[in-house]
Amino acid sequence: MVKSKKQSIDESAQEILAIVQKSLDDGKAEDITVIDLEGKSSIANYMVVASGTSNRHVASLAENIQLKLKEQGYKSISEGEEKADWILIDAYDVIVHIFRPEVRSFYSLEKMWSVSRKKE
């Protein structure tokens, strides 16, 4: 069976999403929310929003995600490491936002994307 380009992209996005979610879970991130961007945006397939308990925790979560992605052969770019209040990781098919809780509350990305936050 020959895979279409869309199937390959979808599988890649799913694999990246799984790596991100496992890394966040392993790192004890809080309030992890996955937003499916299909039909909402062409920038990525998924957006993941999570919280760390401190600047150091936010930085550590971001560093671990990027390390795990690199180990699996995926590229990513990031910004926000200087302050570590909010770090953005662009893994192309998956966009990851890691916030300190008060910064996350201020920007309310889930509200902007019309997603109700569920408590875990």
Domains annotated for the chain, with CATH where assigned, are: 5-112 (3.30.460.10)
In which band, very low, low, confident or very high, does the pLDDT at 29 lie, cut at 50, 70 and 90?
very high
pLDDT at position 63 over 60: yes
Check pLDDT > 90 for residue 27: yes
Per-residue pLDDT at 37 exceeds 50: yes
Task: Please give the mean pLDDT across all residues of the chain.
Answer: 89
**Token digits of residue 23:** 């890394």
Q: What is the pLDDT of residue 8?
A: 60
Within 8 A by CB and 6+ apart from 59, the residues are 52, 81, 84, 87
Residue 2: the pLDDT is 41
Q: For residue 1, what pLDDT is reported?
A: 44
Statement: residue 70 has pLDDT above 90:
yes
Contact 93, 9 (CB under 8 A): yes
